[in-house]
Amino acid sequence: MSGPHGFDIDAIRKQFPILDVEVNGHPLVYLDTAATSQKPQVVIDAISDYYSRSNSNVHRGVHTLSQQATDIYEETREKTRALINAADAREIIYVRGTTEAINLVASTYGRQNVGEGDEVIVTAMEHHSNIVPWQILCGEKGADLKVVPMDENGDLIMEEFDRLLSDRTKIVAVVHLSNALGTINPVKEMFQKAHAVGAVTLLDGAQSAPHMAIDVRDLDCDFLAFSGHKIYGPTGIGILYGKYDLLSQMPPYQGGGEMIASVTFEKTIYAELPAKFEAGTPHIAGTAGLGAAIDFVNQVGLDNVAAHEKSLLEYGTERIGSINGVNLIGTAKHRSGVLSFVVEGVHPHDVGTVLDSQGIAIRAGHHCAQPVMAHFGIPATVRASFGMYNTTDEIDRLYEGVQQVFEVFG
Protein backbone atom coordinates (compact mmCIF):
# COMPACT_ATOMS: atom_id res chain seq x y z
CA MET A 1 0.00 0.00 0.00
CA SER A 2 1.54 3.24 -1.07
CA GLY A 3 -0.07 6.54 -0.20
CA PRO A 4 0.41 10.03 -1.55
CA HIS A 5 3.88 11.52 -1.91
CA GLY A 6 5.52 8.10 -1.88
CA PHE A 7 4.39 7.25 1.65
CA ASP A 8 5.06 3.50 1.72
CA ILE A 9 3.41 1.97 4.77
CA ASP A 10 5.01 -1.46 4.28
CA ALA A 11 8.49 0.04 4.11
CA ILE A 12 7.76 2.07 7.24
CA ARG A 13 6.45 -0.91 9.18
CA LYS A 14 9.60 -2.89 8.37
CA GLN A 15 11.66 -0.34 10.25
CA PHE A 16 9.88 -1.03 13.54
CA PRO A 17 11.11 -4.41 14.84
CA ILE A 18 8.48 -4.59 17.61
CA LEU A 19 5.71 -4.82 15.00
CA ASP A 20 6.84 -8.42 14.35
CA VAL A 21 6.12 -9.42 17.95
CA GLU A 22 3.20 -11.74 18.72
CA VAL A 23 1.03 -10.98 21.74
CA ASN A 24 -1.17 -13.72 23.18
CA GLY A 25 -0.76 -15.71 19.97
CA HIS A 26 -1.76 -12.86 17.64
CA PRO A 27 0.32 -10.39 15.65
CA LEU A 28 0.61 -7.21 17.72
CA VAL A 29 -1.79 -4.40 16.84
CA TYR A 30 -0.27 -1.40 18.58
CA LEU A 31 -2.85 1.33 19.05
CA ASP A 32 -1.28 3.07 22.04
CA THR A 33 1.07 5.52 20.37
CA ALA A 34 -0.36 8.43 22.36
CA ALA A 35 1.10 6.76 25.47
CA THR A 36 4.41 6.14 23.78
CA SER A 37 5.43 5.55 20.19
CA GLN A 38 7.33 2.49 19.04
CA LYS A 39 10.95 2.93 17.98
CA PRO A 40 12.41 2.43 14.51
CA GLN A 41 15.61 0.42 14.18
CA VAL A 42 17.66 3.56 13.43
CA VAL A 43 16.79 4.95 16.86
CA ILE A 44 17.63 1.69 18.62
CA ASP A 45 20.91 1.54 16.68
CA ALA A 46 21.82 5.14 17.47
CA ILE A 47 21.57 4.47 21.20
CA SER A 48 23.47 1.20 20.93
CA ASP A 49 26.16 2.79 18.71
CA TYR A 50 26.58 5.65 21.11
CA TYR A 51 27.28 3.28 24.00
CA SER A 52 29.37 0.95 21.82
CA ARG A 53 31.58 3.56 20.20
CA SER A 54 31.26 7.08 21.58
CA ASN A 55 30.25 6.82 25.24
CA SER A 56 31.82 9.61 27.24
CA ASN A 57 30.77 12.70 29.16
CA VAL A 58 30.01 15.93 27.35
CA HIS A 59 31.63 19.36 27.48
CA ARG A 60 34.45 18.51 29.84
CA GLY A 61 36.96 16.12 28.35
CA VAL A 62 39.82 17.03 26.04
CA HIS A 63 39.84 13.50 24.71
CA THR A 64 38.38 12.29 21.44
CA LEU A 65 35.40 10.38 22.83
CA SER A 66 34.26 13.33 24.89
CA GLN A 67 34.33 15.42 21.74
CA GLN A 68 32.29 12.79 19.87
CA ALA A 69 29.70 12.66 22.65
CA THR A 70 29.54 16.46 22.71
CA ASP A 71 29.08 16.54 18.94
CA ILE A 72 26.18 14.08 19.08
CA TYR A 73 24.63 16.03 21.94
CA GLU A 74 24.88 19.39 20.19
CA GLU A 75 23.92 18.08 16.74
CA THR A 76 20.61 16.88 18.17
CA ARG A 77 20.06 20.32 19.66
CA GLU A 78 20.49 21.81 16.20
CA LYS A 79 18.20 19.17 14.64
CA THR A 80 15.57 20.03 17.25
CA ARG A 81 15.93 23.72 16.52
CA ALA A 82 15.32 23.05 12.84
CA LEU A 83 12.39 20.70 13.57
CA ILE A 84 10.44 23.41 15.37
CA ASN A 85 11.92 26.35 13.42
CA ALA A 86 13.39 28.05 16.48
CA ALA A 87 15.62 31.04 15.80
CA ASP A 88 18.59 29.90 17.86
CA ALA A 89 19.83 26.49 19.10
CA ARG A 90 20.46 28.03 22.52
CA GLU A 91 16.68 28.19 22.91
CA ILE A 92 16.57 24.37 23.02
CA ILE A 93 16.89 22.97 26.57
CA TYR A 94 17.16 19.24 27.20
CA VAL A 95 14.87 17.92 29.92
CA ARG A 96 13.45 14.49 30.81
CA GLY A 97 10.16 15.07 29.06
CA THR A 98 7.13 17.32 28.73
CA THR A 99 6.35 17.10 32.43
CA GLU A 100 9.78 18.30 33.46
CA ALA A 101 9.70 21.07 30.86
CA ILE A 102 6.43 22.45 32.27
CA ASN A 103 7.67 22.12 35.84
CA LEU A 104 10.81 23.99 34.86
CA VAL A 105 8.83 26.93 33.52
CA ALA A 106 6.44 26.96 36.49
CA SER A 107 9.32 26.83 38.99
CA THR A 108 11.48 29.49 37.36
CA TYR A 109 9.55 31.89 35.16
CA GLY A 110 6.40 31.25 37.19
CA ARG A 111 7.96 31.85 40.60
CA GLN A 112 9.66 34.98 39.33
CA ASN A 113 6.67 36.54 37.59
CA VAL A 114 3.43 35.28 39.13
CA GLY A 115 2.27 36.97 42.32
CA GLU A 116 -0.74 37.30 44.57
CA GLY A 117 -3.97 37.91 42.66
CA ASP A 118 -2.37 37.03 39.32
CA GLU A 119 -3.89 34.37 37.10
CA VAL A 120 -2.69 31.39 35.10
CA ILE A 121 -5.01 30.08 32.37
CA VAL A 122 -5.17 26.46 31.25
CA THR A 123 -7.92 24.56 29.43
CA ALA A 124 -10.41 21.91 30.49
CA MET A 125 -8.63 19.29 28.39
CA GLU A 126 -5.15 19.51 29.86
CA HIS A 127 -3.12 16.47 30.83
CA HIS A 128 -2.40 16.43 34.57
CA SER A 129 1.15 17.52 33.73
CA ASN A 130 -0.17 20.88 32.52
CA ILE A 131 -2.44 21.32 35.54
CA VAL A 132 -0.58 20.27 38.66
CA PRO A 133 2.62 22.37 38.22
CA TRP A 134 0.43 25.49 37.85
CA GLN A 135 -1.71 24.50 40.82
CA ILE A 136 1.42 24.20 42.93
CA LEU A 137 2.64 27.59 41.69
CA CYS A 138 -0.72 29.29 42.27
CA GLY A 139 -1.01 27.74 45.74
CA GLU A 140 2.43 29.03 46.65
CA LYS A 141 1.85 32.54 45.33
CA GLY A 142 -1.81 33.13 46.13
CA ALA A 143 -2.58 33.26 42.41
CA ASP A 144 -5.64 31.79 40.68
CA LEU A 145 -5.79 28.99 38.15
CA LYS A 146 -8.45 29.69 35.51
CA VAL A 147 -9.82 27.05 33.17
CA VAL A 148 -11.15 27.55 29.64
CA PRO A 149 -14.21 25.27 29.40
CA MET A 150 -15.09 23.03 26.45
CA ASP A 151 -18.36 22.04 24.85
CA GLU A 152 -19.93 18.60 24.45
CA ASN A 153 -17.86 17.83 21.35
CA GLY A 154 -14.58 18.58 23.05
CA ASP A 155 -14.01 22.00 21.45
CA LEU A 156 -12.84 24.90 23.61
CA ILE A 157 -15.41 27.62 24.15
CA MET A 158 -13.42 30.52 22.80
CA GLU A 159 -15.78 33.23 24.06
CA GLU A 160 -15.01 32.01 27.57
CA PHE A 161 -11.29 32.23 26.87
CA ASP A 162 -11.74 35.83 25.74
CA ARG A 163 -13.66 36.55 28.93
CA LEU A 164 -10.95 35.05 31.16
CA LEU A 165 -8.12 37.11 29.68
CA SER A 166 -7.22 40.24 31.62
CA ASP A 167 -4.23 42.20 32.82
CA ARG A 168 -4.06 39.74 35.71
CA THR A 169 -3.29 36.91 33.27
CA LYS A 170 0.40 36.12 33.55
CA ILE A 171 0.65 32.72 31.83
CA VAL A 172 -1.53 30.91 29.28
CA ALA A 173 -0.59 27.22 29.07
CA VAL A 174 -2.47 25.20 26.46
CA VAL A 175 -2.36 21.68 25.10
CA HIS A 176 -1.96 21.61 21.32
CA LEU A 177 -3.56 18.19 20.75
CA SER A 178 -5.60 16.59 23.51
CA ASN A 179 -4.34 13.12 24.47
CA ALA A 180 -7.79 12.08 25.67
CA LEU A 181 -9.96 13.52 22.88
CA GLY A 182 -7.70 14.22 19.92
CA THR A 183 -8.92 17.85 19.73
CA ILE A 184 -6.51 20.23 17.99
CA ASN A 185 -6.77 23.62 19.67
CA PRO A 186 -6.58 26.99 17.86
CA VAL A 187 -3.37 27.87 19.70
CA LYS A 188 -2.06 30.50 17.31
CA GLU A 189 -5.17 32.62 17.82
CA MET A 190 -5.09 31.97 21.58
CA PHE A 191 -1.46 33.05 21.86
CA GLN A 192 -2.13 36.26 19.94
CA LYS A 193 -4.88 37.12 22.39
CA ALA A 194 -2.73 36.14 25.36
CA HIS A 195 0.11 38.34 24.18
CA ALA A 196 -2.31 41.23 23.73
CA VAL A 197 -2.91 41.26 27.50
CA GLY A 198 0.80 40.83 28.21
CA ALA A 199 0.75 37.14 29.19
CA VAL A 200 3.44 34.62 28.41
CA THR A 201 2.39 31.46 26.55
CA LEU A 202 3.32 27.80 26.86
CA LEU A 203 2.38 25.13 24.33
CA ASP A 204 2.13 21.52 25.51
CA GLY A 205 3.24 19.74 22.34
CA ALA A 206 3.58 16.24 23.80
CA GLN A 207 0.89 14.83 21.51
CA SER A 208 1.13 17.19 18.57
CA ALA A 209 4.88 16.96 17.90
CA PRO A 210 4.68 13.45 16.36
CA HIS A 211 1.61 14.26 14.28
CA MET A 212 2.17 17.67 12.73
CA ALA A 213 4.86 20.21 12.01
CA ILE A 214 5.21 22.76 14.82
CA ASP A 215 6.65 26.15 13.92
CA VAL A 216 7.32 28.06 17.14
CA ARG A 217 7.84 31.34 15.32
CA ASP A 218 4.64 31.03 13.30
CA LEU A 219 2.62 30.06 16.39
CA ASP A 220 4.55 32.65 18.38
CA CYS A 221 4.64 30.56 21.54
CA ASP A 222 7.02 31.68 24.27
CA PHE A 223 7.60 28.13 25.52
CA LEU A 224 7.07 24.73 23.93
CA ALA A 225 7.33 21.41 25.79
CA PHE A 226 7.50 17.97 24.19
CA SER A 227 8.84 14.47 24.79
CA GLY A 228 11.27 12.41 22.74
CA HIS A 229 9.48 9.13 23.35
CA LYS A 230 6.28 10.24 21.66
CA ILE A 231 8.09 11.25 18.50
CA TYR A 232 9.65 7.82 17.88
CA GLY A 233 12.64 8.56 20.12
CA PRO A 234 13.67 7.17 23.51
CA THR A 235 12.10 7.79 26.91
CA GLY A 236 13.84 10.07 29.40
CA ILE A 237 14.70 12.85 26.96
CA GLY A 238 12.48 15.80 26.16
CA ILE A 239 12.66 19.39 25.03
CA LEU A 240 11.85 22.75 26.47
CA TYR A 241 11.95 25.50 23.88
CA GLY A 242 11.89 29.04 25.21
CA LYS A 243 12.44 32.41 23.61
CA TYR A 244 16.00 33.54 24.21
CA ASP A 245 15.14 36.72 26.10
CA LEU A 246 12.81 34.90 28.47
CA LEU A 247 15.21 32.04 29.14
CA SER A 248 18.12 34.37 29.81
CA GLN A 249 16.16 36.31 32.44
CA MET A 250 14.92 33.19 34.23
CA PRO A 251 16.70 31.84 37.30
CA PRO A 252 18.19 28.33 37.03
CA TYR A 253 16.00 25.30 37.72
CA GLN A 254 18.58 23.05 39.35
CA GLY A 255 22.07 23.81 40.59
CA GLY A 256 25.11 21.66 39.97
CA GLY A 257 27.76 20.88 37.42
CA GLU A 258 27.40 21.90 33.76
CA MET A 259 25.26 24.92 34.62
CA ILE A 260 27.98 27.18 36.06
CA ALA A 261 30.54 29.58 34.70
CA SER A 262 32.46 29.79 37.97
CA VAL A 263 31.93 28.68 41.54
CA THR A 264 33.40 29.92 44.80
CA PHE A 265 31.84 29.43 48.20
CA GLU A 266 30.88 33.09 48.15
CA LYS A 267 29.29 33.29 44.73
CA THR A 268 28.40 31.25 41.68
CA ILE A 269 28.11 32.71 38.23
CA TYR A 270 25.72 30.75 36.04
CA ALA A 271 26.60 29.49 32.62
CA GLU A 272 25.09 30.95 29.48
CA LEU A 273 22.16 29.31 27.70
CA PRO A 274 21.42 26.49 27.28
CA ALA A 275 23.84 25.11 29.90
CA LYS A 276 22.23 27.22 32.65
CA PHE A 277 19.27 24.83 32.60
CA GLU A 278 21.18 21.58 32.12
CA ALA A 279 22.71 20.83 35.52
CA GLY A 280 24.40 17.47 35.91
CA THR A 281 25.39 14.83 33.39
CA PRO A 282 22.55 14.75 30.88
CA HIS A 283 20.88 11.85 29.06
CA ILE A 284 23.46 11.83 26.26
CA ALA A 285 22.33 8.49 24.83
CA GLY A 286 18.81 9.88 24.80
CA THR A 287 19.93 12.78 22.63
CA ALA A 288 21.63 10.30 20.27
CA GLY A 289 18.31 8.46 19.96
CA LEU A 290 16.29 11.66 19.64
CA GLY A 291 18.57 12.93 16.87
CA ALA A 292 18.03 9.70 14.93
CA ALA A 293 14.28 9.96 15.54
CA ILE A 294 14.15 13.51 14.17
CA ASP A 295 16.11 12.43 11.06
CA PHE A 296 13.72 9.53 10.64
CA VAL A 297 10.59 11.66 10.99
CA ASN A 298 12.00 14.23 8.56
CA GLN A 299 12.74 11.48 6.05
CA VAL A 300 9.17 10.19 6.21
CA GLY A 301 7.85 13.75 6.29
CA LEU A 302 5.49 15.03 8.97
CA ASP A 303 3.05 16.15 6.29
CA ASN A 304 2.89 12.58 4.97
CA VAL A 305 2.43 11.28 8.51
CA ALA A 306 -0.38 13.78 9.11
CA ALA A 307 -2.14 12.78 5.87
CA HIS A 308 -1.83 9.06 6.62
CA GLU A 309 -3.10 9.46 10.17
CA LYS A 310 -5.97 11.63 9.00
CA SER A 311 -7.17 8.83 6.74
CA LEU A 312 -6.78 6.34 9.61
CA LEU A 313 -8.82 8.54 11.93
CA GLU A 314 -11.55 8.98 9.31
CA TYR A 315 -11.67 5.24 8.69
CA GLY A 316 -11.63 4.47 12.42
CA THR A 317 -14.30 7.04 13.24
CA GLU A 318 -16.55 5.56 10.56
CA ARG A 319 -15.83 1.88 11.35
CA ILE A 320 -15.76 1.95 15.16
CA GLY A 321 -18.33 4.75 15.43
CA SER A 322 -20.81 2.69 13.41
CA ILE A 323 -20.88 -0.15 15.96
CA ASN A 324 -24.14 -0.32 17.86
CA GLY A 325 -23.37 0.18 21.56
CA VAL A 326 -20.17 2.13 20.97
CA ASN A 327 -20.09 5.86 21.69
CA LEU A 328 -17.23 8.02 20.50
CA ILE A 329 -15.98 10.53 23.07
CA GLY A 330 -14.60 13.70 21.56
CA THR A 331 -15.91 14.77 18.18
CA ALA A 332 -14.20 18.14 17.85
CA LYS A 333 -14.01 19.86 14.47
CA HIS A 334 -10.24 19.45 14.23
CA ARG A 335 -8.88 16.19 15.57
CA SER A 336 -5.87 13.99 15.13
CA GLY A 337 -4.44 10.68 16.18
CA VAL A 338 -6.90 9.63 18.87
CA LEU A 339 -10.12 7.61 18.82
CA SER A 340 -11.65 7.61 22.31
CA PHE A 341 -14.78 5.60 22.97
CA VAL A 342 -16.90 3.76 25.49
CA VAL A 343 -18.71 0.47 25.05
CA GLU A 344 -22.16 0.56 26.64
CA GLY A 345 -22.36 -1.58 29.75
CA VAL A 346 -18.72 -2.68 29.67
CA HIS A 347 -16.01 -0.97 31.66
CA PRO A 348 -13.01 0.16 29.57
CA HIS A 349 -10.68 -2.08 31.58
CA ASP A 350 -12.68 -5.13 30.62
CA VAL A 351 -12.66 -3.97 27.00
CA GLY A 352 -8.88 -3.59 27.29
CA THR A 353 -8.42 -7.10 28.64
CA VAL A 354 -10.56 -8.68 25.91
CA LEU A 355 -8.71 -6.72 23.20
CA ASP A 356 -5.35 -7.65 24.74
CA SER A 357 -6.28 -11.32 24.53
CA GLN A 358 -6.32 -10.74 20.76
CA GLY A 359 -3.00 -8.92 20.67
CA ILE A 360 -4.55 -5.46 20.43
CA ALA A 361 -2.90 -2.83 22.64
CA ILE A 362 -5.11 0.11 23.54
CA ARG A 363 -5.21 2.35 26.60
CA ALA A 364 -8.10 2.01 29.03
CA GLY A 365 -8.44 4.60 31.74
CA HIS A 366 -8.62 8.30 32.43
CA HIS A 367 -5.48 9.09 30.37
CA CYS A 368 -4.14 11.37 33.12
CA ALA A 369 -6.96 13.75 32.25
CA GLN A 370 -9.51 13.20 35.03
CA PRO A 371 -11.17 16.62 34.49
CA VAL A 372 -11.90 15.55 30.89
CA MET A 373 -13.54 12.35 32.10
CA ALA A 374 -15.57 14.34 34.67
CA HIS A 375 -16.73 16.68 31.88
CA PHE A 376 -18.19 13.75 29.93
CA GLY A 377 -19.51 12.09 33.10
CA ILE A 378 -17.56 8.89 32.61
CA PRO A 379 -14.82 7.29 34.71
CA ALA A 380 -12.68 6.22 31.80
CA THR A 381 -12.55 5.58 28.07
CA VAL A 382 -11.01 3.12 25.67
CA ARG A 383 -8.45 5.00 23.60
CA ALA A 384 -7.06 3.77 20.32
CA SER A 385 -4.28 6.09 19.16
CA PHE A 386 -2.41 6.04 15.89
CA GLY A 387 1.14 6.37 14.68
CA MET A 388 2.68 6.46 11.22
CA TYR A 389 2.92 2.63 11.22
CA ASN A 390 -0.77 1.83 11.72
CA THR A 391 -3.00 0.48 8.96
CA THR A 392 -6.68 0.25 8.14
CA ASP A 393 -6.32 -3.55 8.53
CA GLU A 394 -5.43 -2.94 12.16
CA ILE A 395 -8.57 -0.86 12.60
CA ASP A 396 -10.49 -3.82 11.18
CA ARG A 397 -8.83 -5.99 13.85
CA LEU A 398 -9.99 -3.46 16.45
CA TYR A 399 -13.50 -3.66 15.00
CA GLU A 400 -13.47 -7.45 15.32
CA GLY A 401 -12.03 -7.12 18.82
CA VAL A 402 -14.94 -4.94 19.90
CA GLN A 403 -17.34 -7.56 18.49
CA GLN A 404 -15.56 -10.08 20.71
CA VAL A 405 -16.19 -7.78 23.70
CA PHE A 406 -19.91 -8.03 22.98
CA GLU A 407 -19.65 -11.81 22.77
CA VAL A 408 -17.94 -12.06 26.16
CA PHE A 409 -20.18 -9.49 27.85
CA GLY A 410 -23.31 -9.96 25.75
Q: Applying CB under 8 A, which residues contact other proteins?
A: 24-25, 346-350, 353-354, 357, 364-366, 370, 373, 379-380, 408-409
Query: Of 173 and 346, which CB lies nearer to other proteins in the complex structure?
Result: 346
User: Least distance from C-beta 373 to other proteins, angstroms?
Assistant: 7
Report the C-alpha gap between 305 and 6 in whole angstroms. Answer: 11
* Shorter beta-carbon distance to other proteins: residue 25 or 265: 25
Contact 25, 19 (CB under 8 A): no
In the annotation, is 368 catalytic?
yes
Element (H, E) at 317: helix 302-321
CB of 409 to other proteins, least distance (A): 7
Give the strand order in the sheet containing 223-227: 92-95, 238-242, 223-227, 200-204, 169-175, 119-123, 144-148
Tell me 186's DSSP state: -
Interhelix angle 284-300/64-84, nearest 10 degrees: 40
Closest CB to other proteins among residues 36, 317: 36
**Shortest distance in whole angstroms from residue 352 CB to other proteins:** 9
Nearer to other proteins, 280 or 345 (CB): 345
* Smallest distance from other proteins to CB 158, Å: 30
Q: Which residues 6+ apart lie within 8 Å of 20 measured at CB? A: 27
Best CA proximity match to 108, nearest among 240, 254, 226, 237: 254
**Residue number, 99 or 336, with CB nearest to other proteins:** 99
Active-site option among 19, 132, 260, 368: 368
Beta bridge partners of 268: 263
**Residue 351 beta carbon to other proteins: minimum distance, rounded to whole angstroms:** 9
What pairs with residue 365 in β-bridges? 381
How far apart, in whole angstroms, are the C-alpha atoms of residue 187 and residue 180?
A: 17
- Before 274, cis peptide (omega within 30)? yes
Q: How far is the CB of 385 from other proteins (least distance, A)?
A: 18
Measured from the CB atom, is 69 or 405 closer to other proteins?
Answer: 405
Partners of 277 in beta bridges: none
The DSSP code sequence of 332-392 is -SSB-SEEEEEETTB-HHHHHHHHHTTTEE-EEE-TT-HHHHHHHT-S-EEEEE--TT--H
Query: In whole angstroms, what is the distance from residue 130 CA to residue 98 CA?
Result: 9
Terminal-residue alpha carbon distance, the chain: 36
Residues marked active site are found at 368
